[in-house]
């Protein structure tokens, strides 16, 4: 019996040792997997780095690409499109003007009453209406007759004290958020449809003329006085409020910028004469690219899988359409390295399953246990019961991607300022650095619109911080980033006022 007891005790001891060894082995394995996940984050931080030296290289590259795009068609990834808008609202506009914004599955009609003094918008009416699905793939006549009918109904409801001051023809600003080749301040040729529209008979035709014909069919005396995109509208609204506004940036689902350029710097359009000596240039900056941009394997994979590979490289690193998906790709990689996320989720492998507003909500979750992060991971990505330590990693990933985006957007803005000599260095004009400017920095305002900047607090803070780092305290104190609301609507009405029929054509080619 003694020997048996000893044997049993020895057996238990061996079993205990085996169990202990297994537990230690599991802990070691878990630790190793955790370290792999942390390493993914560390590699991401390193590859997304935006030290101020690198940002200044992006600034220089942006300014040089702007110059190249102005010098010749196709000379740069930046299209640097002429808008033929050479006169921005100055505050003296007076009367009632209209705007129409067609940019997706809804459209808006606005009426704005101007008081003849800067920032004196005495009142406005706005009406939103969905576009019936069948009209998005019908004919140009069907679509625009529907829009013109809605405009007619809106005009006939004139009211709320915003009465037409005289029987003169009404002037309309048209914000058309589809690819257009501008031919004048009030006309442009539709290049292609996007956003679910497919109306073949309108491609290659003048958008304003098509709308003008539809308005005439409805018996309305309304003139399309301006055809713009939302970025130009934002600049118009910014300039109406503050004459020192020289550029506008939209950072939302997509991103773009425009600015006021000297006419003699637009080399690709020889003989361009404007009364004001300047013209608004639509940069289409989403397509900007430079070897100095900190691109990661996740960016490359996203680009390859996109409908437009090798296009819109800058936009894919800084705009709201893409940031959430970059974060999702990083989390997918982490989940492949460790089981700390819990059982594998097929949702995590679905492109764009994590939208940027949800990413922002996780990033800005300040609860002690990151409960909002847990909720989004569970409900949206089907990752329930993720430990708090992993949630903290998720927040850090959101932070790295957002910080990179905001700082690159700041570098793009400073690139514009450098090109026009508003960054304190003299800028680039006509291909030469200008040294004839006074040393005192002029007050400069950049109008900004778009949810990433206006609604995402940490994005805004990172962008503002980077502006100060790049420009320095003294110069950055003279640069104001001012939020605009509804440049695509109010800005279009303001440009209709600035380009009203009482004005003569100001842009000439000689």
Write out the catalytic residue numbers: 108, 177, 230
**Number of Cβ within a 10 Å radius of residue 12:** 10
Q: What is the largest CA-CA distance in the chain?
A: 118
Which alpha helices (DSSP H) does 364-387 contain, by range? 371-379
Rounded (5°) CA angle 471-473-479: 60
Which alpha helices (DSSP H) does 48-81 contain, by range? 52-71
Residue 161 main-chain phi, psi, to 5 deg: 80, 0
Residue 285 main-chain phi, psi, to 5 deg: -75, -10
**In this structure, are residues 63 and 431 in contact, taking their beta carbons and an 8 Å threshold?**
no
Which alpha helices (DSSP H) does 72-193 contain, by range? 140-156
**Number of Cβ within a 10 Å radius of residue 112:** 26
Taking Cα atoms as reference points, which of 143, 163, 265, 165 lies closest to residue 210?
143
Residues 6+ apart with CB under 8 A from 105: 130, 131, 136, 195, 196
> How many Å apart are CA 460 and CA 463, to the nearest integer?
5
**Number of Cβ within a 10 Å radius of residue 442:** 13
**DSSP label at residue 489:** I
Interhelix angle 371-379/388-419, rounded to 10 degrees, is 90
> How many Å apart are CA 495 and CA 83, to the nearest integer?
12
For residue 94, what are its two tokens? Answer: 């007076």
Give helix then strand counts, H and E, for the chain: 15, 17
Residues 6+ apart with CB under 8 A from 74: none
């Amino acid at each position: 019996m003694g020997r048996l007891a000893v044997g049993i005790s020895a057996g238990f001891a061996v079993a205990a040792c085996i169990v202990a060894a297994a537990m230690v082995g599991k802990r070691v394995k878990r630790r190793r997997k955790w370290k792999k996940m942390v390493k993914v984050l560390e590699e991401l931080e390193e590859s997304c780095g935006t030290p101020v030296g690198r940002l200044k290289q992006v600034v220089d590259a942006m300014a040089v690409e702007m110059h190249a795009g102005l010098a010749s068609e196709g000379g740069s990834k930046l299209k640097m499109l002429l808008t033929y808008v050479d006169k921005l609202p100055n505050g003296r506009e007076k009367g009632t003007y209209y705007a129409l914004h067609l940019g997706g599955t809804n459209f808006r009609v606005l009426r704005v009453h101007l008081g003849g003094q800067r920032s004196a918008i005495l009142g406005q009416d706005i009406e939103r209406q969905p576009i019936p699905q069948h009209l998005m793939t019908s004919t140009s006549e069907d679509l625009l007759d529907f829009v013109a009918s809605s405009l007619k109904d809106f005009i006939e409801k004139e009211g709320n004290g915003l009465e037409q001051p005289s029987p003169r023809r009404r002037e309309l600003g048209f914000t058309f958020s589809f690819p257009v080749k501008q031919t004048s301040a009030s006309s442009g040729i539709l290049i292609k449809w996007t956003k679910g529209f497919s109306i073949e008979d309108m491609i290659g035709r003048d958008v304003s003329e098509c709308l003008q014909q539809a308005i005439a069919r409805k018996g309305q005396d309304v003139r399309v006085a301006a055809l713009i995109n939302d970025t130009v509208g934002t600049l118009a609204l910014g300039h109406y409020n503050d004459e020192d506004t020289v550029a506008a940036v939209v950072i939302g689902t997509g991103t773009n910028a425009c600015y006021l350029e000297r006419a003699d710097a637009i080399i690709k359009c020889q003989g361009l004469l404007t009364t004001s000596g300047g013209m608004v240039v639509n940069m289409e900056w989403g397509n900007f690219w430079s070897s100095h941009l900190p691109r990661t394997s996740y960016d490359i994979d996203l680009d390859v899988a996109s409908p437009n590979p090798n296009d819109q490289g800058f936009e894919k690193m800084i705009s709201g359409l893409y940031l959430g998906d970059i974060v999702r790709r990083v989390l997918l990689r982490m989940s492949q390295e460790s089981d700390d996320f819990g059982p594998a989720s097929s949702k995590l492998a679905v492109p764009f399953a994590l939208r940027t507003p949800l990413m922002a909500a996780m990033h800005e979750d300040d609860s002690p246990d990151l409960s909002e992060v847990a909720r989004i991971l569970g409900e949206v990505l089907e990752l329930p019961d993720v430990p708090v330590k992993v949630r903290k990693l998720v927040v850090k990933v959101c932070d790295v991607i957002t910080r990179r985006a905001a700082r690159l957007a700041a570098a793009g803005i400073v690139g514009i300022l450098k090109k026009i000599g508003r960054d304190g260095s003299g800028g680039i004009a006509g291909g030469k650095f200008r040294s004839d400017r006074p040393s005192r920095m002029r007050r400069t305002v950049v109008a900004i619109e778009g949810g990433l900047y206006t609604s995402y607090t940490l994005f805004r803070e990172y962008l503002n911080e980077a502006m100060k780092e790049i420009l320095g305290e003294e110069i950055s104190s003279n640069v104001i980033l001012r939020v605009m609301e509804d440049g695509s609507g109010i800005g279009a009405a303001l440009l209709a006022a600035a380009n009203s029929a009482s004005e003569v054509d100001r842009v000439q080619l000689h």
